[in-house]
Amino acid sequence: MKIVIVGGVAGGASAATRLRRLNEQMNIVLFEKGEYISFANCGLPYYVGEIIREKEQLVVQTPEAMKLRFNIDVRVSSEVIAINAEEKELEIHDLKNGTRYKESYDTLILSPGATPIKPPIPGLNGDNVFTLRNIPDTYAIKDFIDHRKPKRAIVVGGGFIGIELAENLIERGIKVTLVELGNQVMGPLDFEMAALVHQYLKEKGMEIYLEDGVTSIRHEKHYSIVSLNDKTELKADMILLGLGVTPDTTLAQTANLVIGKRGGIQVDKSLRTSNADIYAVGDAIEVIDFVNGKPTLMPLAGPANKQGRIAANSICGIKDEYRGTQGTSVLKIFDLTVSSTGNNEKTLKTLNIHYEKSYTHSLSHAGYYRGATPISLKILFSPTDGTILGAQAIGYTGVEKRIDVIATAIRAQMTVYDLETLELSYAPPYSSAKDPVNMAGYVASNILKREHEIIHWHEISNLDKTTALLIDVRTPQEFSLGTIQGALNIPLDELRDRMQKIPKNKEIILFCQVGQRGYVAYRILIQNGYTNVKNVSGGYKTYLAAVQEQSNRDVFRYEELHNE
């Protein structure tokens, strides 16, 4: 039996090695258009930033090593340009010598990946304009920085690759301007969580233009001018595009494979395409969203690796199914960690899925042990049975650990009530007796059990101030540093003594810094005859992050940078 795989890296390489482990007699051929069959694509930005210093560290597997250990016929610099599905034959372009030839197969696995989005913007072909998708792209960016010594770079796009590139450029001493068409960076996050990232990026010296896009790039002798939608013109030494990727379905279309509504190759649970002899894995395919059951695109390395293994199992007669992707991800931004899993509010609203949400800002470990830092954790859950639909977390330590726990809970279709009961490891340097995941479960469960009525940050502006009273239960010192406009300061520890000043005929809106003291105040008032009381979920911290100015335009002056 002859298996031909098109494309290496995560999906194709994992399929090839799994096939060999299952069948020593199989004839396995792997074609890769580039020079590298398996490389650390998630590590590429860190080579630019010189966190990874040796080129060899980027290469996970070489053709020679794969041949020696797995007896796989690897052909790099070989582009598969067409599939004749009826004849079960491929047309190959040998890029090194310019020749073309045909190759037969019994079963075909497609792993072509995705291609960077490059909109039709005039000026994108300049020698100082880059995208980052593979090792040659990485070398080109680093060589430009090493030899041209740019002082200002513009990164277009605030997704994973854009943020990682921006961070690593700053690590190289380059002033970075980030331009994002949407109103936030990091699409998997909801706005108020992304707002925490915006403030941190500004603290790190990044200039941010939100809700603006690039219309053209004009190249002058010593610099380029980037024009934005609002007619702003920004000068830069280099421009990097991080606008995301789109499934590479060019080859699939030559075989008349069915392409799904989201633009990816349509596959079944065993990763078989509409042609029984062709499988597809990785960034090029549509997968089922594990949470909502709808087709989606999820270009992540972890799922691609698993898909390669499942396709190999299916080919070898081992019953295996891909149960869907929930989009669990993590991103390092300097010292900050941003992580998420499952669906966000934008997705749930689009699909008309009812949900509730809660926020907690628990410490990463016991507060009395040095180094504890807050983890801002948002969870989304069903308002009827508490099934967990998604989670997002931002902090400095232990963030990904908590999201991984919740990702596991989503996979097991657990509820917020289950989060309360999880027995998680505890020692003062690592957690608290009530772990942040437990705390998120307690808060969400109280909401569902109507033991805690809440109001969210975006609902504050709609309050009727004639019938509602805002009470800030923080200390006078905290209150003096900033509060919600119109709020009355009654510290929690004075609440019982000053309760007579709080009218019972008004809606009482309580808040503190993160929500916990507001909850205690809520319980006090409810048990003293107050019936119309709510606590601001996530407290003043969540509210302030979302309502303050997100951009910080006009921070850098190109001429000033070059006169330093």
Catalytic residues: 42
Nearest to 550 by CA among 208, 319, 51: 208
Beta bridge partners of 378: 359, 392
Buried/exposed code over 361-392 (b: 16+ C-beta within 10 A; e: otherwise)? bbbbbbeeeeebebbbbbbbbbeeebbbbbbb
Structure-token pair, residue 491: 């510290």
**Neighbour-count burial of 262, counting CB atoms closer than 10 A to its CB (0-12 exposed, 13-18 middle, 19+ buried):** middle
**Neighbour-count burial of 202, counting CB atoms closer than 10 A to its CB (0-12 exposed, 13-18 middle, 19+ buried):** middle
State CA 525 to chain mean position distance: 40
Amino acid at 287: V
> In angstroms, rounded to a whole number, what is the distance separating the alpha carbons of residues 81 and 92?
6
**Neighbour-count burial of 221, counting CB atoms closer than 10 A to its CB (0-12 exposed, 13-18 middle, 19+ buried):** exposed
Residues contacting 493, CB < 8 A, separation 6+: none
Phi then psi for residue 374, to 5 deg, are -75, 145
CB atoms under 10 Å from CB of 72, counted, come to 22
Alpha-helical regions (H) of 149-249: 160-171, 191-203
